[in-house]
Amino acid sequence: EEKTYIATPDLDMKKEEEIAIYIENKIIEVLKANEIELVILAGYLKIVSPKLVNEYRNKIINIHPSLIPAFCGKGYYGEKVHQGVIDYGAKVTGATVHFVDEGADTGPIIMQKTVEVKQDDDIKKLAKRVLEVEHEILTKSISMFCENKLTVNGRRVYIND
């Protein structure tokens, strides 16, 4: 019996790691050179590197279209979040603004707001209402950060008036 072998190109993982480290260092360099004090990830679908998180601990904000810790983390982004909410039969969903840590949607929560899931909701209808809430709480969270009204203690974020 004759065996067939298929040649596959060697993937140079070391080269890919070097490129990722270079990009990460460039991002940090640009942020520091421009004296950036707050990084906002809205629609950014990548995990932020531990080095960047450490350089900007509690200075990177993300918005997520659900009430974390529900319907979040790996695989939950965009319409997949809303489909998960509808498929599960949840009665409420919403949006969460949180600081970014080394995990996927695991950082301290700054603000959340609920949205009712209606019986006739489809992904598009639900996503539209959640997006309105996302815009509202993201802008409020940014303002509170800029006004030094946020204090982080462990997993808890306190709003100081």
* All residues at 6 or more sequence positions from 71 whose CB lies less than 8 Å from its CB, including other chains: 81, 84, 85, 88, 90, 93
Q: Which of 122, 128, 43, 111 is nearest to 85 (CA)?
A: 122
List, in order, residues 6 or more apart from 24 with CB less than 8 Å away.
Answer: 49, 51, 52
Do residues 115 and 133 make contact, with C-beta atoms less than 8 angstroms apart? yes
Q: Which of 99, 90, 134 is nearest to 113 (CA)?
A: 134
Active site residues: 64
CB 127 within 8 A of CB 118: no
Residues 99, 80: Cα–Cα separation, whole Å = 22
Reading the block at residue 86, the tokens are 């509808």
